[in-house]
Structure 1
Amino acid sequence: MNDHRLKHSVNLSHRLPSLAETLALGLPLATTLAAALWLAQGLPDARDLAYSQARDDLRALRSALLLPVPERPQLPDTAQGLETLVREGSLKQLPLDPWGRPYQYRYPGQAHTYELFSLGPDGVESQDDVVVWNLYGGR
């Protein structure tokens, strides 16, 4: 009978885990892996962050530009430029775009009443520009 108990205890120590035990051990690991993969896919890259910063800056510049100011009854012309916003106190300073260049401004504009934009990563007027009249689509 002792031999039977010994064999029985050996068999119990080598049994396969139940489905509940497998899930209890494997589910947290699978969940963690899935969350890590999801986060890695959803994190913005440097290019996305630069374009997002340019859109935010353009919104702020547009707000300051369109803010009614008694000393400025109309938009500044191209020659006066965005520096007017600093001189009149609407902005403390003019930001540079994420690529280190000044934002561009024209009044009157070529295709719009006024044009406010970043030249984008290539530094020339092209399809990759971030433009205030179409913040998510470029020119």
Structure 2
Amino acid sequence: MIRKQAGFTLIEIMVVVVILGILAALVVPQVMSRPDQAKVTAAQNDIRAIGAALDMYKLDNHNYPSTQQGLEALVSKPSGNPQAKNWNKDGYLKRLPIDPWGNPYQFLAPGTKGGAYDLYSLGADGKQGGSDLNADIGNWDL
């Protein structure tokens, strides 16, 4: 009785390795960029949430906090002008979030981008301006 030997030839194995290499070259860059995009999305969501808290502050106090009062006015009652006469005793945020890169969010009132205020993250590099992941992420983009 003749037994046929089972197995793969060297050529078959090489073809499979090449196909896996091509797939890896196409898929890995897509997967590796996702954590960076997740940070951008988290910053955008934080900006929306802080913006909602600023809107509640304005509903109660008829003004947004000034640049000098800053976002801290959402956590503790601010002093100075404009006065927060109807400030919510529980505050508007429990604590100020930091952006996904570990930096505080920036706040300017009145805004310079056409809105009542500018609320933004300095991006991955923590510096004004930049492009791609280093670009500022602000309420004017949402």
* Class of the TM-score when normalised by the shorter of the 2 chains: 0.5 to 0.7
Deviation at 1:40?
5.3
Equivalent residue letter for 2:111: G
Which of the numbers 112, 115, 123 marks the counterpart of 2:114?
112
Residue among 44, 65, 68 paired with 1:79 = 68
Q: Give secondary structure in 1 for the equivalent of 2:107.
A: strand
Q: CA RMSD in A?
A: 3.1
TM-score, normalising length: structure 2? 0.62
* Structure with greater contact order relative to length (CA < 8 Å, sep ≥ 6): 2
Q: TM-score, normalised by structure 1?
A: 0.64
Contact 2:57 2:92 in 1 (8 A): no
The count of corresponding residues between Structure 1 and Structure 2 is: 112
Shift of 1:93: 0.4
Match for 1:112: what amino acid? G
> Cα–Cα, structure 1 residues 69 and 132, in superposed 2: closer, same or farther, change >3 Å?
closer
Instruction: Tell me the amino acid that sits aligned with residue 75 of structure 1.
Output: Y
What amino acid is the match of 1:116? L
Q: How does 1:29-108 map onto structure 2 within 5 Å?
A: 43=31, 44-67=33-56, 71-87=60-76, 88=88, 89-108=91-110
Provide Cα deviations, 1:21-70, integer angstroms capped at 9, x if missing partner.
Answer: xxxxxxxxxxxx8xx96975654532112111111111111111112556
CA distance in 2, matches of 1:108, 1:67: 17
Quick one: structure 1 residues 68 and 103, their matched pair in 2 at CA, closer, same or farther if it must change by over 3 Å? closer
- Of 106, 126, 129 in structure 2, the residue corresponding to residue 126 of structure 1 is 129
CA 1:130/1:45 → structure 2, altered by over 3 Å: closer, same or farther? same
> Unaligned stretches of 5+ in structure 1?
1-5, 15-32
Q: Share of identical aligned residues, percent?
A: 37
Max radius of gyration: which structure? 1
Spell out structure 1 runs of 4+ moving beyond 6 A.
36-39
The amino acid across from 1:62 in the alignment is G
Instruction: Structure 2 unaligned segments of length 5 or more: list them.
Output: 6-19, 77-87
Most deviating of 67-76 and 78-87: 67-76
- Between the aligned partners of 2:119 and 2:58, the Cα distance in structure 1 is 19
Tell me by how many angstroms 1:112 deviates: 2.1
